């Protein structure tokens, strides 16, 4: 839509790996405030919708989150959407580990 874009990650960590990005520049996830909760919820909704459009329907087997600074490759907010989470490879399980020092959900 006019506020968010979604595209495939160039280095996928799962069979479905998308990035949901605000069109308007925002810093990394560390800059998020309470007022950004609706934006993050919309980003998650877009991620789920893109999964469903790509014939992935088990929304219980999805991992979504942000890399925490300084573990960000770019300084623009982007939500990782990975599915099926049960098929993450060894390195992806480390990079996208739930609520680690470097990846937050």
Residues catalogued as catalytic:
78
State the Cα–Cα distance between residues 14 and 53, nearest whole angstrom. 17
User: What would the two tokens of residue 89 be?
Assistant: 């490879």
* Sign of the CA dihedral running 55, 50, 19, 85: negative
**Of 26, 9, 27, which is closest to residue 18 (Cα–Cα)?**
9
């Amino acid at each position: 839509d006019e506020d968010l874009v979604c595209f495939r990650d160039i280095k996928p960590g799962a069979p479905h790996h998308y990035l949901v990005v605000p069109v308007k520049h925002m810093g990394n996830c560390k800059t998020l405030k309470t007022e950004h909760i609706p934006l993050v919820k919309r980003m998650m909704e877009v991620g789920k919708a893109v999964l469903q459009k790509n014939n992935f329907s088990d929304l219980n087997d999805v991992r979504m989150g942000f890399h925490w600074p300084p573990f960000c490759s770019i300084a623009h907010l982007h939500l990782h959407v990975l599915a099926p989470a049960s098929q993450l490879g060894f390195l992806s399980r480390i990079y996208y580990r739930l609520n680690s020092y470097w990846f937050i959900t």
